Each structure stands twice: as structure tokens, then as C-alpha cells.
Amino acid sequence: MAPKRRFHIRTYGCQMNVHDAEKVANLLSHAGWVATDDDGAADLLVVNTCSIREKAENRLYTDLGLLREWKAERPGRILGVAGCVAQQEGDTILRRFRTVDFVYGTHNLRLVPTLVAAAEQGERSLRIDETRSLERFDLPERHPDLPDATPGRAFVTVMEGCDMFCTFCVVPNTRGREVSRKAVDIAEEVAALAGRGVREITLLGQTVNAYGRHDVRRGKAAQAGTESFAALVRRLAAIPGIARIRYTSPHPAFFDDDLVRAHGEVAALCPHVHLPAQSGSDRVLERMRRPYTSAEYRALTESLRTARPDIALTTDLIVGFPGETDADFRETLALVRDVGFVDAYTFKYSPRPGTKAAVLSEAVDPALAQERLAELQEMLRSLTMAAHRARVGSETEVLLEGGSARRPGQLSGRDPYHRVVNLTGRAEAAGRPGDLVRVHLVEATPRSLIGEPVSSVRGAGGGKFLKPGAPTADEKGRNARL
């Protein structure tokens, strides 16, 4: 029998892209391919691209330049391009880079095995058709040989696409129109995940809390098999084994009272919301086509805090949007200070082809935008540090993820507030990736918290054995033998 051929997917961009790569990895595994982390060992390489800012898009072109050599090294190697740049620039990529065998867009994941088979026959293909069909979510069950990169955790797509058309953003062009999956299909997927030990799910969508909104508004939810996002969250929280539910990214415009209330009522719903604000200035928000004012945004954060007083809020902010004055920028700083974000992703505005803002005049001088970014980041650093310091001395629960990048051999994970917690002591004393462990927080750092496990596995020298997490493979084996 010929040796199995190996693939690697290089992913850029948001969680949606990461999850798309997981879906494609599963499809390729079902088609007989074997995953590898090593480009050098791969016979098939897929670059899964992001076009949110110019820098992200340029990474593809740098990669494709460098990959000429990879392709030439071994005959029969296959190169594919996927994701948001593929969706927008598909035929240009195929024309410009002879090394690329196939390009597929964000709605065409299911075609990958076919495109790869065609490439094996020397055919080059482009598939970037947009569809509203839910068929694209019909994917095979997880292949048993696929390595689990995130034990205990999983992404679950609930909706895809965006109908908001913020003036700075390419996503509506790269991901198409909003479509929501059927609630029963989502619940079935979550139950299957829980069945194989997943404790934390992150619900994904470009505007995730817009789930079902068009059907609900038209009175057609029952017919379409959807419901409100809050109803979906409550449905999924009732599935046995699911200890944590997160969602990203919600849009401030789609928080209804029920979703706010759910934060106080649904125990599994994590006390963290990543709530992109973009700006604190009403003038800028309007030019961005964000349908809320700074006051409305603040009111939403207050009602979330009323429902769940310990809620941690994080956000996305853009500086240097065309026409942003110093006074506008001060309003963003004021919003950040007043809301007291625990953290934020901050970006310098990057004009994107095909967006409304790309043709706006009054560009902000890049050096000034850089200064603003630095000032904003300075404020956020002190807020993050203050939030971390305030937690020292308390206990939390961490879902272990594996070795910390900075301290190899030690475990890290995330607490319910989505903060990274690095564990003191040897990894084997704390638990295994996928376990939920109680941790006593002992130190704050700018990027993370440091904690000591309160519960530890056997052999940890006097530590009491608690098993709050999913059974480990060993335990499952032992139980099966009993």
C-alpha cells in the first residue's frame, strides 16, 4: 500500500478561520490524508488567509513567494489557497502564482477533497461561489485519527456572514450574507462534542448574536428551525457535560434583554463578553456605520454588569479612522476608562478595497495614528494590570490548555473571565489539557495571572485529588475495564 500523503494548513485571521481549518482538516482526514505540523513533511499545503487589514493580506503574498521553493523541492506537491483573500482575489491569485493548484472560498470548504483530487491529476481550479444554502454546514463526524489540538474545548459555528457593512470592513464581502444554522443541528453537534469530553464551547459567527434575527423578526423562526440567540444559549446550556459557553463576536446592536438576563441566569455562560466598540466618538461611529452611540454602548455595558456584576468586558478599537480628530480620539480614551475594559484588541485603520471608507477623504497621518495607538495601548496596559492585581488572592477555575509558551513544562489555561492563567509547579501535578482545575491566584503579570492548583492529581505530594475535569484517557480506559 502506498504511504499516506500528509497535509498541513497554515491559518491566519480570526477564530472563524481557525475553525474552517479544523473542518477542512477533518474532510481531508476522511479522504485519507494525514495531518502534519511540519511544512517540510507535507505533500499538501493550504494557506488559509485573512484580509481584514492590509498587513494580513500581504502575508499571503510573502508566503506564496517563499513557497515557490517548497513546491519545487518535491514533485507532486500541492498548494491551495483558502479564506477571505481567496474569496476576494481568487482568480488574480491563480493567474499571478503558477505554483498555486487550487483556490477555494469561504463557502466552499466541502469541495476541498475534490479540488485536491483534481490537482493530483494536474488540474488547477477556482471555486469561490457564494451560497445561502445550509448544506455547507453538513460535515462528517470528527475523524478518529485527527489529533485534538484543543482538548476539552471546541468551536461551534452557529451563524456565518455579515449584513452590517461597517464602512471599514471587508467581512461582508468575504463571508457573504448572514445565514443561521438550525438550532437542532447545533444542539446535536454540541451533544456529540460533550460526548467526547468537550467541556467548553465557543459559539462562532461574524455577528454571532444576530443568530436567527431575520427569521425571528419575520415570525418565521419555527419554520426555519432557528430562534433568538438567547434561546439558543439556554438550549445549549442544558446539554449535559457542557460546563462553559462563550461566544464571539457579538455586535452591540443585537443584545436584547433576554441575552443580557441570560448572563445572570445561565450558570454555564461565562462572565466575559468581547464587545467590539470600535470608537467612543458618535461622529466616528456614524461614519463607520456602527448603529449605536457611545451612550448606548455604555448603557449596554451597565446592564450587563447589573445582570452579572463580575462580568469582564473586552473590546476591539480602531484609531485613525478617516476624519478622526484629537477630540474624537479623546472620547475613545474616555470610553475605555469609563467602561474599564479588562483588555482590548487595538488597530490602526487600514483602508480595504471595496469598502465605503476606502474612498473617504481626511485620512489621518500615519504617524499621528501610531501615536494614538500607543496612547490607547498604554491606558489599556494599566487597566489590564489593575484588573489582574485585583484578582490576586482569589480562587478561580482554569480549563487547562497545555504547556505555556513562555514556561515550557508548565501548564496554562483560561479562567471563566477568559484570562490566561499560568500554573506554578510541574505540569503533571496540576492535571492534563482538557481538565478543569481550581486554582488559587498568587501573582499578576501584564499578560496573565499566575496560580497554584488547589486540587491536583494523584502523586502530587499531599494534594487532595479532585476530578473536576473530563475523565482522562487513562481513566476512561480504567472505567471501561471495570
- Please report, as ranges, the residues that interact with ligand SAH according to CB under 6 A: 52-53, 168-169, 171, 206-207, 249, 251, 276, 278, 316, 318, 347, 349-350, 352
Using the contact rule CB under 6 A, the part of the chain among 31-39, 47-55, 263-271, 456-464 near ligand F3S is: 47-55
User: Least CB distance from residue 324 to ligand SAH, whole Å?
Assistant: 12
Establish if 51 lies at the interface with ligand F3S (CB under 6 A).
Answer: yes
> Which of 9, 50, 115, 383 is close enough to bind ligand F3S by CB under 6 A?
50
Q: Find which of ligand SAH, ligand F3S, ligand SF4, none residue 352 binds, CB within 5 to 8 Å per kind.
A: ligand SAH
User: Whose Cβ is closer to ligand SF4: residue 206's or residue 455's?
Assistant: 206
Q: Do the bridges between strand 411-414 and strand 395-403 make them parallel or antiparallel, or are there none, so unpaired?
A: antiparallel
DSSP state of 358: G
Cβ proximity of 269 and 245 under 8 Å: yes
Q: Find which of ligand F3S, ligand SF4, ligand SAH, none residue 165 binds, CB within 5 to 8 Å per kind.
A: ligand SF4
Cis peptide bond upstream of 51, omega within 30:
no
For helices 257-265 and 229-237, angle between their N-to-C axes, nearest 10 degrees: 20
User: Whose Cβ is closer to ligand SF4: residue 316's or residue 452's?
Assistant: 316
User: Whose Cβ is closer to ligand F3S: residue 12's or residue 33's?
Assistant: 12
User: Least CB distance from residue 140 to ligand SAH, whole Å?
Assistant: 28
Using the contact rule CB under 6 A, the part of the chain among 12-20, 22-30, 384-392, 399-407 near ligand F3S is: 12-20
CA Rg, the chain, in Å? 23
> Which of 47, 52, 126, 318 is close enough to bind ligand F3S by CB under 6 A?
52
User: Whose Cβ is closer to ligand F3S: residue 50's or residue 81's?
Assistant: 50
User: Whose Cβ is closer to ligand SF4: residue 278's or residue 472's?
Assistant: 278
Establish if 50 lies at the interface with ligand SF4 (CB under 6 A).
Answer: no
Interaction residues for ligand SF4, span 204-263 (CB under 6 A): 206-207, 251
> Which of 14, 134, 149, 358 is close enough to bind ligand F3S by CB under 6 A?
14
Residues contacting 343, CB < 8 A, separation 6+: 314, 380, 383, 384, 387
User: Whose Cβ is closer to ligand F3S: residue 48's or residue 301's?
Assistant: 48
Give phi and psi for 311, each to the nearest 5: -60, 140
Instruction: Give the three cell numbers for residue 59.
Output: 502575508
Of 377, 383, 432, the residue nearest 403 (C-alpha): 432
User: Whose Cβ is closer to ligand F3S: residue 355's or residue 455's?
Assistant: 355
Q: Find which of ligand SAH, ligand F3S, ligand SF4, none residue 349 binds, CB within 5 to 8 Å per kind.
A: ligand SAH
Q: Find which of ligand F3S, ligand SF4, ligand SAH, none residue 318 binds, CB within 5 to 8 Å per kind.
A: ligand SAH
Interaction residues for ligand SF4, span 157-176 (CB under 6 A): 162, 164-166, 169, 171-172
Q: How many of the other CB atoms lie within 10 Å of CB of 334?
A: 14
User: Least CB distance from residue 17 to ligand F3S, whole Å?
Assistant: 4
Cβ proximity of 425 and 395 under 8 Å: no
Establish if 202 lies at the interface with ligand F3S (CB under 6 A).
Answer: no
Per-residue exposure over 395-416, b if at least 16 CB sit within 10 Å of its own CB, e if not: ebbbbbbeebeeeeebbbbbbb
Cβ proximity of 156 and 186 under 8 Å: yes
Hunting for cell 493567474 — which residue is that?
95
Cβ proximity of 178 and 207 under 8 Å: yes
User: Whose Cβ is closer to ligand SF4: residue 94's or residue 171's?
Assistant: 171
Instruction: Give the three cell numbers for residue 459.
Output: 502523586
Q: Which H or E element spans position 351?
A: none
Number of residues that bind ligand F3S (CB under 6 A): 13
Establish if 83 lies at the interface with ligand F3S (CB under 6 A).
Answer: yes
Interaction residues for ligand F3S, span 159-188 (CB under 6 A): 170-171, 174-175
The terminus-to-terminus CA distance of the chain in angstroms comes to 38
User: Whose Cβ is closer to ligand SF4: residue 162's or residue 450's?
Assistant: 162
Q: Sign (positive/negative) of CA torsion 84, 90, 92, 96?
A: positive
Cα 424 to Cα 429: distance, rounded to the nearest angstrom: 10
Cα 321 to Cα 351: distance, rounded to the nearest angstrom: 9
**Helical H segments across 31-124, by residue range:** 54-73, 83-96, 112-120
Cα 296 to Cα 253: distance, rounded to the nearest angstrom: 9
Interface residue list for ligand F3S (CB under 6 A): 13-14, 16-17, 50-52, 83-84, 170-171, 174-175
Interface residue list for ligand SF4 (CB under 6 A): 162, 164-166, 169, 171-172, 206-207, 251
